Amino acid sequence: MDDNWKSTLHLGDIDRVCWRLQSSKSEGLSTTFAKKRLLLNGKNKFTLPERPESKLRKFLRNCFYGFGIILLISLIFCFILYHLRLQSPHEKSDPEYCIIGVLLSIIFLLSGLFRYLHDNDDYGVVAAFKDLMPMYCTVRRDGRKQIIRSEDVVLGDILLITYGERIAADVRFFVSRDLEVNNVALTGYSVPVIICPDHTHRDKWGSRNVGFACSHVIKGYGEGLVIACGNDSEVGIMARLSMEPRPSSRPRRHIKQVTFYTYIVSILMFFILLCTISLEGLTFQMLIEFNVSLTISLAPLYLPTLMYFGLWQTKRTLLESGCYVRNMEAASTLGLTTVICSSLIGTLTIRSWRVSELFADGELEKSEHLRGADLNERFLELIRASVVCNRAYVTPGQRGVPRMQKTLDGTDYEKALLKFAMRFYPSILQLRRRYERLANKPYDKVSHLQVSVHQTVDEDGEKTYHLFVRGYWSVVLRLSSNYYVKSELVELDDIRRDAIANIGMRLKKVGRHSYAFGSKVLSPDDQMLSLISIGFAYKEKKSFEKFMKLYCNSLCFLGLISIYNPPSINVRQAVDRCRSAGIKLVLLTRAELSFARAVAKTVGVIGQDSETIEDVAARLNIHESEVKRSMITAAAINMQNWQKKLHHQRWDTQQLLLAHVDLVFADIAVEQRHMIVDVCQQLGAVVTVIGSSVHDTSAIRRANVGVAECASSHASQSSADIILLEDNFVTLVNAIAESRLLFENMKKALAYAMSPNMAVIMVHLSFILIMIPFRLFLIILLLLDIFVNTLPALSLFYERPELDLMNMKPKVFDDYLINRRLIFVAYIQVGIVEASAVLISYLVYMAYNGFLPRQLMGLSVDWYDDSVNDLVDSYGQEWTREARRQLEYEISTVVLITLIIMQCVNLILTKTIRADLLKHGFGNVRLNIAVVYMICLGFLFTFLNCPDYLRTSPVNYSPVFWYILPLIVLNIFLETARRYVLRHFPGSWLEEEMLYGYL
């Protein structure tokens, strides 16, 4: 049987469908045949991945990712050096290498931990889908009821379903006794659906004879034929699409970039090792220490900490603004968004529907213009009818809550009617008691009608029976014969019917849900009383049809009441911010086309200057086929009309995305939603998807950033990266701005932390190339990385933006955390100045102790020879090995203090990338504290005497400071000049080479 036939199993004659499935409504499948079909088609369960890996394995994988391998090799060599020193008879016990090995081990584990913490656990969505399916169900096989496991249900089984159960597969019902199901597990909205076996529709979700797997039965009893199982069911399709691999997040791409950088460093270190191992005069232990030291200085030890802290801080900020970040990596990826695919209701519009217009007595009035004292009898009668045939009610347990602020239960339309009526009727309960309901047929999409009969008692005690009808205006008009115009009862002729229909169509085009009301006073004959005594239940369908034929005619048309879903507060401004930020908005909704198009215009998704083909045709008064493609700037597509193959739909979607600025896809299916997101990504877009139901789960999972509304299904929340605690599109736009600020400040933190690298590289090159006795101890490098580079850099994440980042276009194809412009500023402009300061401070202090620069070249061999105890300086003084070692500790302190001073200045300068520092201000309190901290740290190392563990000794730094002061001034001048040129000459070659920020 082909797939096309399978997709139409809910249509056509039920007996023929049973015959094709080799089943029977009365007997079901035979047990033997069911077992064969189970072996052939597989079990009725979703194909979900098993638990991928243990937490320990995932943690270790993150530890060995990127430069973690280099860290591991370095710490192993440190322990080897410590062992060699212990084995040497000439060396005293020195814990330096042991301390370094322990610290590197801690950094190695912490780096893996930070990557592990901001890595998303994708198994949550698997658990969510597993929890949807019931464990047992009741089937009819061999003509008998059997209770079996849900996973053993096969195509063609007859399911027997009663209230309180969950449906085990997609079912076409052929028996329904007041059966109602609730798809809240799939859609996230608790709306009862009345099952009607006679009502079929091409779309399964619009058909009322289908029950979907995992739906709850909340009322009645039904019997149905299984038409789809497991992965072929609607929920199974959603699960299968949701399990596809996700695109790589922005931080993961950055980590890959750093990994590539690590490979280059590894290759470079291998060649340096080959070159240095052949040098004469230096011990093998010193050469190994040199290579380990250079490796540590080149490896970005601070990167995992900076990345994790930035993501954590942004997560906290977004939580305060109404966004709960489940996947920390999404906090960074969100700022790179170029396309937002949003659902209709929930984020762009509020969930509280309101009455907008009323049509009665021949007049169309806006609801806000109506006042109780000014209403005539015709409007009051229309409002009264909307209350007495309304099933909405005030939720219990709200004593003390103001009357107009109480929560209501019911459908959106009925709650809006009841809330509006509460303005005019002080007691809804009293009104409903006055009009006692005797029979009621709830509204359904089969007849597009709601019918109810009510009884009232007049002052004389006489009973009066009233018939009220609510439904689509064309249906109510067909049943009506008269209506009031200016309080005068007139006949409904064709002209008046067309006028009312035009009003209904006009309201529909502006995004209103409109229903008409009609009424009639019934004559209490025995037949009528007998028919209404049954209550219009579905099982008494023939009685209801007889009642409609005999009594539901010649109604008095009361009027129309329309409701609308107001846009969220400031949503138009948020949409405009997205446009200025280079973000394309695409609306994906299951709503009807004209309604979706109208709401898209209301919220600004279709801009004021944009026109669809319908708008152009109406403006020029021509047929839609005559409209030229160049005249269209927006498109609203009914996806139900796309019956072509999926790959053809992909091509059409590509053309639409490239051709139109504004797009609305209405009546969309699950596969189409997933396909549109995938097409956007193939075109190079970074996609953020907003959704709430299981329908949206596959698109949420496929997106670069998946966003779920707070009132959404468990599956969609489990698959989302971000959950909106306030269902407002404005909240998401603010989160995008915050994410962009994170990336901006991350660049600043990296520019600051990378600046001392050039000085460290210069020290190592001078040691190995010109043999100057100038090296940095491993512990000094770690002190520099942790206390000078990493901790102060964290304060830059609290820096406010220099300008509105939502006015900048995201650079998707230049999304590098460490780009050439950042390297140029950190290594060349600032790095060379800091390296020069370190070199000058070293030469000055060595000269201050008797070693002039000309004597230092080539001195390293004798300097580090433990047997040389009479090394002569430039003034003829002899230096023992112990004295030289003490001088090395003092040099380490001088270099560390020099870098602290230079980095203190650099921290202040890095506050801005382009803006004037004085105008930007110094409002970042944490950064100000970091500056004071670094000053105190410099003074601390001036007096700190810890040669055995920290390799530092007290020094008199004052003579050195005056020599590096000109370099401090030079650094300030160069940075100020660079910012001035960038501000006043935008687009210049200097901006191309030195502007490393702004996305």
Give per-residue pLDDT as tens, 449-496. 888 899 998 777 788 899 999 998 889 999 999 988 888 888 988 888
Token code pair at residue 947: 């040669």
Give φ, ψ of 457 to 5 degrees: -125, 125
Q: What one-character DSSP code corresponds to residue 825? A: I
Token code pair at residue 155: 């195509």
C-alpha span between 14 and 932 (Å, rounded): 81
Place 560 in a pLDDT band, splitting at 50, 70 and 90: very high
Mean per-residue pLDDT, 253-261? 77
The beta strands (E) that lie in 548-604 are given as 555-564, 584-588
Per residue in 484-520, pLDDT (tens digit) is 888 888 898 888 889 999 998 888 888 888 899 999 9
- Does the pLDDT value for residue 813 go beyond 80? no
At which residue do the structure tokens 């209230």 appear? 163
Q: Under a CB-based contact definition with an 8 Å cutoff, are residues 692 and 710 in contact?
A: no
Token code pair at residue 731: 């909240």
788 or 543: which carries more pLDDT confidence? 788
Of 312, 254, 304, nearest in space to 114 by CA: 304
Mean per-residue pLDDT, 311-336? 88
- Does the pLDDT value for residue 286 go beyond 90? no
C-alpha span between 745 and 751 (Å, rounded): 10
904 or 533: which carries more pLDDT confidence? 904
- Does the pLDDT value for residue 627 go beyond 90? no
Q: Are strands 705-709 and 687-691 parallel, antiparallel or unpaired?
A: parallel
Give residue 972's pLDDT: 93
C-alpha span between 395 and 20 (Å, rounded): 48
Give residue 280's pLDDT: 64
791 or 298: which carries more pLDDT confidence? 791
Give residue 902's pLDDT: 95
- Does the pLDDT value for residue 264 go beyond 60? yes
Give residue 373's pLDDT: 65
Those residues whose C-beta lies under 8 Å from the C-beta of residue 93, and which sit 6 or more positions away, are 86
Token code pair at residue 935: 């000053």
Give residue 936's pLDDT: 94
Place 236 in a pLDDT band, splitting at 50, 70 and 90: confident
C-alpha span between 763 and 466 (Å, rounded): 97
- Among 197-206, 482-491, 613-622, 725-734, the minimum mean pLDDT is found in 197-206
- Does the pLDDT value for residue 606 go beyond 90? no
**CA 71 distance to own-chain centroid:** 34
Token code pair at residue 428: 């809804």
Give residue 52's pLDDT: 62
Those residues whose C-beta lies under 8 Å from the C-beta of residue 696, and which sit 6 or more positions away, are 343, 673, 689, 690, 708, 712, 716
Give residue 738's pLDDT: 92
Give residue 1's pLDDT: 40
C-alpha span between 85 and 90 (Å, rounded): 9
335 or 295: which carries more pLDDT confidence? 335
Mean per-residue pLDDT, 294-320? 86
- Does the pLDDT value for residue 91 go beyond 70? no
- Does the pLDDT value for residue 279 go beyond 70? no
Give residue 847's pLDDT: 93
C-alpha span between 264 and 270 (Å, rounded): 10
Helices H, strands E: what count in the chain?
A: 40, 28
Q: What type of residue is 1?
A: M
Give residue 526's pLDDT: 78
Give residue 960's pLDDT: 92
Let me know how long the chain is: 999
Mean per-residue pLDDT, 748-770? 88
Q: What type of residue is 874?
A: S
C-alpha span between 835 and 759 (Å, rounded): 4
Give residue 999's pLDDT: 47
**Mean pLDDT, all residues of the chain:** 84
Residue 312, CA atoms < 13 Å, CB-side half-sphere: 12
Q: Give bridge partners of residue 623 from the DSSP assignment.
A: none
C-alpha span between 537 and 197 (Å, rounded): 14
Give residue 540's pLDDT: 62
Give residue 561's pLDDT: 92
Give residue 2's pLDDT: 45
C-alpha span between 876 and 458 (Å, rounded): 127
Give residue 736's pLDDT: 92
561 or 370: which carries more pLDDT confidence? 561
Token code pair at residue 186: 């799939």
- Does the pLDDT value for residue 4 go beyond 60? no
Report if pTM > 0.85. no
Alpha helices in 802-954 (DSSP H): 820-823, 830-848, 853-856, 860-863, 881-909, 917-920, 925-943
Q: What one-character DSSP code corresponds to residue 453? A: E
- Does the pLDDT value for residue 880 go beyond 50? yes
Mean per-residue pLDDT, 581-587? 89
- Does the pLDDT value for residue 833 go beyond 90? yes
> Which DSSP string corresponds to 327-379?
STTHHHHGGG--EEEE-SBTTTB-S--EEEEEEETTEEEEGGG--GGG--HHH
Give residue 998's pLDDT: 63
Helix 729-754 / helix 571-580 crossing angle, nearest 10 deg? 40
Give residue 708's pLDDT: 86
Give φ, ψ of 388 to 5 degrees: -70, -30
Kindly tell me the sign of the dihedral angle through the C-alpha atoms of 300, 304, 308, 309. negative
C-alpha span between 328 and 494 (Å, rounded): 63
- Among 6-10, 113-117, 314-318, 434-438, the minimum mean pLDDT is found in 6-10
- Does the pLDDT value for residue 346 go beyond 80? no
Highest average pLDDT, of 17-31, 58-72, 258-272, comes from 17-31
Per residue in 37-77, pLDDT (tens digit) is 999 888 888 877 666 667 788 888 888 876 778 788 888 88
Token code pair at residue 203: 């779309």
Q: Which residues of 515-549 are buried (b: 16+ CB within 10 A; e: fewer)?
A: bbbbbbebeeeeebeebbeebbebeeeebbeebbe
**CA 11 distance to own-chain centroid:** 38
